Structure 1
């Protein structure tokens, strides 16, 4: 098989596959039924035209028959007048008309036979069309039922195109939802660790802890003062002693921080002096 032949075969195969996918059996059946009805209409029109031609010949035949009778009367009258010559001419015309009538009879008979044959074929075609119409409606009902059953089966099994699209949409929605949930949990965790506070404030973790400690001491001091005013004061408890120890440690830390600051300032001053020298 040559290249062109193979290419032509492939193209025809592709086109045939496309036509098979695009073909709707219901539309095909309806189209075939309409074509058959058109053919039946053409047969009926042919019968009508043939009948018209036959009627014209029959009218012409009747006129010739009238002329034959007229020529008979002419011949009799000519004989009565002793005009044999006129009688002969009348009889000659009569015979010519009879020959024409005989020819017309043959044509009329032929047209009648053709008409009878067409009428028989028309009746057969009409019966087949009615039979095809019944089969067509049955096939359409079967096809629609099979199509509906196929759609239901595809929906139940989830293999249809629409179900595949729906499944992919649900999968994308689940992924998006999980992503948003993870993002929300991450934001909550960052908020709990104070990451957002760090972004909005110039205080570091030590500053926040020291500030929290000062707030706690102020609350404890105010509470002790209130209790003393109301006569509810008591001897320092272990927790109070622990708080005092914590305050002492905090004071030491602040003192160390001051010493460190002084050392940093001294080092900076020394660097400046070296650069000036």
Structure 2
């Protein structure tokens, strides 16, 4: 019955209070689930042994019933031969067998009560185990989600990103400086034919834009 009492203690346990007192709730949940699973195995094994004991007792009761019939026949035979002393002795043996059978029947009744109690405990413990596993999965999922959010926020708003962009600015300044040096090399150098023609085209476009602007303004006036 110690296992059954332990089962009821687990069933009656307030998981919320346990988790509030735990330094590591996730570890506490794993320990609770492990204890539930181990207790469930022990209770089922105990119930299996009880059922086996009942079967053995019933077989013994059947043998005792057969023995009672045998002693009854012997008592009848003794009486038919006018041996009342033997008939009485046979009836005494029959009573012993009947008493033993009654005792075994009473023990079976006690075991039946224990089995019914353990069956209820197993059902309740299974429900608690499902509840604990569901809460464990929920906590694990929430924890993973929170860690992922932290990583993402640390990635786009944390010091690593700020440091990376600071390095980008340093690199851009270096590029600007390199481009400036390249442009400086061309200062004062004679223009190429392509450059002069490009400037003419640019000047023509500016003149055309100016004439169009004047014409529009004159028309509006």
TM tier relative to shorter chain: 0.5 to 0.7
- Rounded Cα–Cα distance in structure 1 between residues aligned with 2:92 and 2:76: 13
> CA 1:172–1:152 in 2, change beyond 3 Å: closer, same or farther?
closer
Instruction: Identify which of structures 1 and 2 has the higher relative contact order when contacts are C-alpha pairs closer than 8 Å and 6+ apart.
Output: 2
- Rounded Cα–Cα distance in structure 2 between residues aligned with 1:98 and 1:137: 57
Trace 1:79-98 onto structure 2 (pairs within 5 A): 79-98=79-98
> Which structure would you say has the larger Rg?
1
Trace 1:190-201 onto structure 2 (pairs within 5 A): none
Superposition TM-score, scaled by structure 2 size: 0.59
Aligned partner of 1:39 in structure 2 is 39
- Rounded Cα–Cα distance in structure 2 between residues aligned with 1:153 and 1:24: 25
- Rounded Cα–Cα distance in structure 2 between residues aligned with 1:55 and 1:174: 86
- Rounded Cα–Cα distance in structure 1 between residues aligned with 2:166 and 2:155: 17
Secondary structure class of the residue paired with 1:82: coil
Superposition TM-score, scaled by structure 1 size: 0.48
- CA-atom RMSD in angstroms: 3.1
- Rounded Cα–Cα distance in structure 1 between residues aligned with 2:138 and 2:164: 39
- Rounded Cα–Cα distance in structure 2 between residues aligned with 1:41 and 1:133: 17
Aligned partner of 1:102 in structure 2 is 102
Aligned partner of 1:197 in structure 2 is none
Secondary structure class of the residue paired with 1:78: helix
Q: How far apart are residue 168 of structure 1 and its match?
A: 6.5
Aligned partner of 2:134 in structure 1 is 134
- Rounded Cα–Cα distance in structure 2 between residues aligned with 1:173 and 1:155: 16
Secondary structure class of the residue paired with 1:70: helix
Secondary structure class of the residue paired with 2:82: coil
> After TM superposition, what 4+ stretches of structure 1 lie above 6 angstroms from structure 2?
166-175
Gaps of 5+ in 1: 1-18, 179-277
